[in-house]
Structure 1
């Protein structure tokens, strides 16, 4: 809390000037704090006043120095007729030392001045043995302990307010980070859903349109146009469904995960129609054991992984059989798709790698494991997902 600059504050300049002028006025009017002290002439009371007055200029920037000079001045004032201005300036310097000083000084001054007050009171009573001697302790407490306690109270309030402000800023920052993460997660989810729903149909359209352009055969062109139309209609239907789900979720309704593993046979049927021209066949090996229903996120993720794997097979696999395997055992749902790996003649659709990223993200979000890569003459995609509600990652 101590200021970094030595330039006095404007309020401190006014305070210093006003305090010194007030002390001079009291001295000129003959107002003294100890008229029975005549060790020095009356003008000697001005020396402590003029020494402590300029210290008000440094009350914020050098509180330790001002308190030391102020203590010496108020002690010297006790050997003169006394000036009330000197005492008042000292109380302000004590208050400023607690408010603007280092934390150690702010903690020690209220304790030390409280002890000084008690000691002075005990010594005065033991020495003078009169009820009026208690006033010495009261005045000491007003001059020393009172300002220190007031400064400590103000400083504690300021520190508490600053801590509350910092906590509010941190809370707002964390809330903004949570909001940004939530938006990023939702955008990633929408990107995966859009890619998985549409990429299959667009890949089929790209492959068959390329075949129609490269093979000069009316029968081939007619067949390709039929497949293109079918996939265009299905892709448009999928897009409309996705838009409907997003609108329902935006209106406060929970979007249901419509695709499920029961639709895998229909998914493979479409893949057979789209991959026939490339010499691809698709088979399903469903080895799921009877059991409780799968969690909806797991079933949706498994369906999308199979869908994306079939899309990649249509774009990149060599002629042969694409095997889709689904099994459920030991609390895990295993999805494996194996497609022929090697050079492929004829047209193929370009790939961006987003499908593999999406499948990996879907698996890891549920706490599962995902692998993809060549194994001999096949390309294998394998995902293991938790098949029970209690094991699905939040």
Structure 2
């Protein structure tokens, strides 16, 4: 199967055509670097310089797609040009082939060519000088340096700058990609945080509303209905207040929003009081020691969600909330009677346990929830940083 050469670049076609036309112009007016009687001219025919000219122009078509092959063929054409009357455009196009071989060739060729041409330049200057002892022979090395070393060195400098620019561009793209990944992770983490806060804020009050509204609809007792409506109103107002606090967090920095207060362990008594008003028999055992704000918020939300789950799912009986700090850890334990009662229940989605587990994981603690004999136990152990609570 024949090998199909790639299509030459448009600029390479312009260079090839321009070089060929320029060489033909110099040949047409008879401008040659050597006369037909010079000793080096082994091919004195007037048309002879056209052969290396055409070959070198053809090599220009490959300067970008096949730089190594173009340089090898162009070198052979340059050697052939030296035994004719010569054409200056052939030499100029050869220097471009040397430049392109370094710029577009493989990294190994790009590193090797400047050294090879440098060694060739020094050899071309010193060997004739040592043989003939004539200072003018140094001009041979100068000519080789101009034709070979200079374009090779120029191509290396340009390639080095181009590679540095490409590396900088890749680093910028990687930095932008990492920044986008960080932004996406931050958005995901913030959405998870808001989801936990929203669930904890709404679930407690809406569960109480659902249970008491079900009781009010199922019992034909005006006193019971009035009591249930009072609880529903209380939970509605509290839920709205919590929602306003959450909106204040989401709209942080808005001049029209009031500062949002973060729940603390000091609010556990009020939280337990609300749970009792909703019908739970709750016992609270919590110390008054200060802990860092993130730990306080996580502990408050874990207790809140545990009481909400007890309200929705537990059998009638005593619910115990115990918080103990020892050995640099805050131990949170909430137990409730395991199993369903006969009263009205609110549906659950399992998001509460997920939210508690995420809160504990963010603080590097441990979490467990499940049946323990006749009790459902929620236990979380949170590490407490020593020093001033933040």
Check if 1:282 corresponds to 2:282: yes
The separation in 2 between residues aligned to 1:85 and 1:239, in whole angstroms, is 83
Deviation digits for residues 162-187 of structure 1 (CA, Å, limit 9, x no counterpart): 11111111111111111121122112
Which of 124, 127, 146 is equivalent to 2:128?
124
1:42 aligns to what?
Answer: 45
Q: Distance in 1 between matches of 2:67 and 2:97?
A: 7
Q: Matches of 1:167 and 1:125 in 2, distance apart? A: 51
Q: Which residues of 2 match residues 149-228 of structure 1 at below 5 A?
A: 149-228=153-232
- Matched-pair contact (CA < 8 Å) for 1:371–1:383: yes
CA contact (8 A) 1:257 1:297 kept: no
Instruction: Report the secondary structure of 1:345's partner residue.
Output: coil
Deviation at 1:248, TM superposition (A): 3.2
Q: Which residue of 1 aligns with 2:15?
A: 15
Once the two structures are superposed, residues 221-248 of structure 1 have per-residue CA deviations (whole angstroms, 9 ceiling, x without a partner) of: 1111111111111111111222233333
Task: Give 1:1-394 correspondences, 5 Å limit.
Answer: 6-35=6-35, 36=38, 37-43=40-46, 44-249=48-253, 258-275=262-279, 280-286=280-286, 288=287, 293-388=290-385
Deviates more, 1:345-354 or 1:242-251: 242-251
TM-score w.r.t. length of structure 1? 0.92
Normalising by the residue count of structure 2, what TM-score does the alignment of the two structures yield? Answer: 0.92
In the alignment, the residues of structure 1 paired with residue 244 and residue 90 of structure 2 have an alpha-carbon distance, to the nearest angstrom, of 86
CA distance in 2, matches of 1:182, 1:253: 24
3-state SS of the aligned residue for 2:304?
helix
RMSD of equivalent CA atoms: 2.2
Q: Distance between the aligned counterparts of 1:255 and 1:47, measured in 2?
A: 88
TM superposition shift of 1:391: 12
Asked if the contact 1:248/1:254 (under 8 Å) is kept, the reply is no
Task: Name the stretch that deviates more: 244-253 or 167-176.
Answer: 244-253
Identify unmatched segments of 5+ residues in structure 1.
none
Question: Relative to structure 2, which stretch is displaced further, 96-105 or 309-318?
Answer: 96-105
**Pair 1:161–1:222, CA change in 2 (3 A):** same
CA distance in 2, matches of 1:252, 1:88: 75
Q: What is the Cα deviation at residue 327 of structure 1? A: 0.3
Contact map agreement 2:335 2:378 (CA 8 A) in 1: yes
1:141-168, Cα deviation, whole Å (9 max, x unpaired): 0100111111111111111111111111
Judging changes above 3 Å, is the alpha-carbon distance between structure 1 residues 205 and 103 closer, same or farther for their aligned structure 2 residues? same
Provide structure 2 residue ranges, at least 5 long, that are not aligned to the other structure.
none
Give the number of equivalent residue pairs: 382
